[in-house]
Amino acid sequence: MAATSVGRVLTLCRQFQNAFRISTSLAVQQSALTLTKSQSYLDRLTYPLLSSNWHCHVGQYRPLHTTISRRGLEEFFDIPENWGEPTVKSGAPWTAKQLRTKSNEDLHKLWYVLLKEKNMLLTIEQESKRQRIQMPSPERLKKIERSMKRLDTVVKEREDALRLLQTGQERARPGAWRKDIFGRVYWYRFREHALPWYMNKRYKRKRFYTPLFVTPHIRLRLEKHLRAKTRIQNKEREKQTVLQEKFPQMKAQSS
């Protein structure tokens, strides 16, 4: 993706990494310089930026917040330089491995960055449909969606780990193994109700037990399942014998 020269567009993630070196590292001046070099997404952020924000952060302290722009509804559109372009350059999506190196605050901010970008792309897509013109670089949407999904996965992993360590609970949402009317056992996930279950009419209609007259149906279903399983096994065995006859030197494949 970043095959072009250094001064050109960095990948989306690299730009963002540069942006967050401000909040994480102490070398604030260096990161301010790298900001001015990189293009594309940070251009959108810095345009029409009052760059006085960066000059005051000279010194070895962490700024309280890094709000860059207050452009409001303009953020639903791309930067005006990209209007009318047939293609817009964009970097690679974030991978889960890269996201796992980021802190929780960074992930939280990144989520909103990706969300705003997604809104912008959806706006452009809808407008292009209206005008009957091809949307410039539609692959950006997929990249954003994948990045957001991976971010979600990483956050879930962290939450799971924390919960396991603190409480020992494997699942976030409580549930239980229950039998439905047809005798099938499944994982029923609990919901929050305002009433106890014995006062809940709709819940009582659900019946988490199997009536006796369903037993013949269960036997037939079991028989069907076993027949299908044996059919597959027999087919596999026959196939192996036929192959052995055709190719005697073939080693017998283990199932």
Q: How far is the CB of 224 from other proteins (least distance, A)?
A: 29
* Per-residue exposure over 192-203, b if at least 16 CB sit within 10 Å of its own CB, e if not: eeeeeeeeeeee
Q: Which stretch binds other proteins (CB under 8 A): 31-39, 189-197, 227-235, 242-250?
A: 189-197
- Is residue 127 within the footprint of other proteins (CB under 8 A)? yes
Given 194, 201, 247, 248, the residue binding other proteins (CB under 8 A):
194
- Is residue 177 within the footprint of other proteins (CB under 8 A)? no
- State the Cα torsion 19-25-29-35 to the nearest 10°: -10
Interacting residues with other proteins between 42 and 81 (CB under 8 A): 70, 72-73, 75-78
Backbone phi, psi, residue 187, to 5°: -90, 110
> Quick one: 132 or 246, whose CB is closer to other proteins?
132
**Whole-angstrom distance, CA of residue 12 vs CA of residue 139:** 13
**Whole-angstrom distance, CA of residue 172 vs CA of residue 26:** 37
- Is residue 159 within the footprint of other proteins (CB under 8 A)? no
Q: How far is the CB of 49 from other proteins (least distance, A)?
A: 15
> Quick one: 72 or 216, whose CB is closer to other proteins?
72
Residues whose CB falls within 8 Å of the CB of residue 105, separated by 6 or more in sequence, listed in order: 23
**Whole-angstrom distance, CA of residue 212 vs CA of residue 237:** 39
Given 37, 100, 149, 237, the residue binding other proteins (CB under 8 A):
149
Helix axes 104-131, 139-166, angle to 10 degrees: 150
Q: Which stretch binds other proteins (CB under 8 A): 9-17, 20-28, 150-158, 176-184?
A: 150-158
Given 105, 152, 157, 236, the residue binding other proteins (CB under 8 A):
152
Given 27, 33, 48, 85, the residue binding other proteins (CB under 8 A):
85
Backbone phi, psi, residue 111, to 5°: -60, -45
Instruction: With CB under 8 A as the rule, give the number of residues binding other proteins.
Output: 35
Q: At 67, list the tokens.
A: 């709000």
Asked if the bond preceding 216 is cis, omega within 30° of 0, the reply is: no
Give the length of the chain. 255
Given 21, 49, 92, 111, the residue binding other proteins (CB under 8 A):
111
> Quick one: 111 or 179, whose CB is closer to other proteins?
111
- Name the site residues for other proteins (rule: CB under 8 A): 70, 72-73, 75-78, 83-85, 108, 111-112, 115-116, 118-119, 122-128, 130-131, 133, 149, 152, 155-156, 191-194
